[in-house]
Copies of this chain bind each other. A is one copy, B any other.
Amino acid sequence: MTGPTTIRQSRRVTIDRIAREAGVSLTTVSRALNDRPDIHPDTRARILAIAQELGYTPSAIARSLAGQRTHTIGLAVRTHLDAWAAQILLPIEEAARDSGYEVFVSTHHAEAERERSVLRTFYSRHVEGMVVVSSVLGEDIPALQESMGIPIVLISPLIQASHRYTVQAHDYGGARSGTEYLIRLGHRRIAHIGAPEWTAPGRDRLQGYRAALEAHGIPWDPELVFEGDAHETGGSEGVQALLALADAPTALMCFNDLTAVGVLHGARIRGVRVPEDLSVVGFDDVPLAKYLDPPLSTIRQDVEALGGHAIRMLFALIAGREPQAPIVLDTVLVERLSCAPRVA
């Protein structure tokens, strides 16, 4: 254990220190450091050696101010609490880092004022672009992008925004295919535990569910739709309410995997077996889905691709290119063991 260290802000090594040591001008040092062609190899080598020896680290701050480019982007997410949200950071950060960008991360908690303030802060930091996951600013986004003159890419906005630069999964299609899977298994009493009605994904997935029923001539029964919270709690409460129905469902299309986790839990509490008595389909395919009991059949959303497309889109915009946009990624049904044919 070291004793109470006093961390003293040792003076940074700057280029003019190097210039003095090397007996050249600032410009020359700058040239060497950014390996420009117009400098004598020997001079460069000498300067580099000195810089190395002095432990010089360029000041990104000063560079940003002078060069007008900060090589930073801002990433606003709703929260870090669930697996889906957490996973999205990875591809974005990796890509950013590979391109020499650093990323500011902030949370907006699905509150408009908070999100606005986060974006404003990013702007004050001169980020070159922003990615907002689960944005709640809706139509304000295009205007903000316009007024700040900085590209904004949205991933799965919570509030529908006619913003061009958006990347999202095919919510409607995914929920529809999940529901159709249950129909193929012979189920007719199929329930849905959704996300709050004010969220776009919540509505879209609900629509997908309804469309599947309609397409197969199954009457729509509002009793079978429960508004959850996209978390375990909603799933657990929802399934218990649905199971208490006179004509209880035999299958369940969940808003997401977290909801499904709650459903499995709630079903267990009521002594209902999955999949024997109740078939369950999730949405997302979070890493844990395959380890649940039973392993969860779900609609996979490729989070890595989501993030990858978003960051590529952003970098295209930063480079002044017009990317293909918007992007809607298809989902895929992953069959595991939480669904069974309906027993007549």
- Which residues of A come within 8 Å of B, CB atoms? 1-2, 4-10, 55, 57-62, 64-65, 70, 75, 79-81, 83, 85-87, 89-90, 93-94, 97, 102-107, 120-121, 123-126, 142, 145-151, 162-164, 232, 236, 261-262, 264-265, 268, 287-288, 291-293, 317, 322, 326
Contacts and interface: CB of A to CB of B under 8 A. Distances in A.
Contacts of A288: 232, 261, 288
Contact of A287 (B81, B121, B151): B81
B93 A105 contact: yes
Given A2-B163, A264-B291, A291-B265, A7 B149 contact: yes
Contacts of A264: 291, 293
Contacts of A62: 65
B70 A80 contact: no
A140 to B, nearest CB: 13
A81 B62 CA distance: 34
A264 B264 CA distance: 15
Contacts of A151: 7
Contact of A60 (B1, B9, B126): B126
A275 to B, nearest CB: 14
Contact of A104 (B59, B79, B104, B164): B104
